[in-house]
Amino acid sequence: MARWQFRPPVERTKHGYRINIDDREREVVGHLLEEMRSLLLGPSDHPALKRVFPAAYHQSQHAEHDAEYQRFMREELVASRLTGIDTVLAALSANPPLAESQVLALAQALNGVRLVLGTVLDVSEDDDPDELDPDDPLAAEHQLYGFLSWLLEWTVRALTPST
């Protein structure tokens, strides 16, 4: 009798890392990363990017300092995220093992997409995913947010040295 064994979606192996998601899930993640790329290359004031590029100075009297910070750092931050997206897209189609840098890029990219989706859904720490109304018109987006959260959690677990 065959024995069923759970394989985490992202795992550390003795030779590196492995992403254990099926082709459809890879396609979904890839599509989301391409949408993220479009957002990053679009208008810098897009409301969905609010959590991706948070204010460096939160008090209203420092608004000028924050605008200066955003002007100086935005291009570098966007370039870093775009490089990460390219790394992840390549990793999703690569054969294992993956390098730690590729898995770190995966964590950053997943978190970025979660931040955008969380902004669109207005997710807060008080939200309970188990209380989601299946008739909610954004139920699919909430499920997608849950999938990304699950995948990010396993990515972080894989990156965390075992004790």
Three-state secondary structure of the chain? CCCCCCCCCEEEECCEEEECCCHHHHHHHHHHHHHHHHHHHCCCCCHHHCCCCCCCCCCHHHHHHHHHHHHHHHHHHHHHHHHHHHHHHHHHHCCCCECHHHHHHHHHHHHHHHHHHHHHHCCCCCCCHHHCCCCCCCHHHHHHHHHHHHHHHHHHHHHCCCC
33 class by beta-carbon count within 10 Å (0-12 exposed, 13-18 middle, 19+ buried): buried
Q: What is the pLDDT of residue 116?
A: 97
Q: At what angle do helices 139-159 and 100-121 cross, to 10 degrees?
A: 150
Q: Render each residue's pLDDT in the chain as its tens digit; 163 residues.
A: 567 788 999 999 999 999 999 999 999 999 999 999 999 999 888 999 999 988 888 788 888 888 888 888 889 999 999 999 999 999 999 888 999 999 999 999 999 999 999 999 998 877 776 777 888 898 899 999 999 999 999 999 999 987 5
d(CA 118, CA 130): 16
Residue labelled with tokens 């000028």? 64
Cα first-last separation, the chain: 34
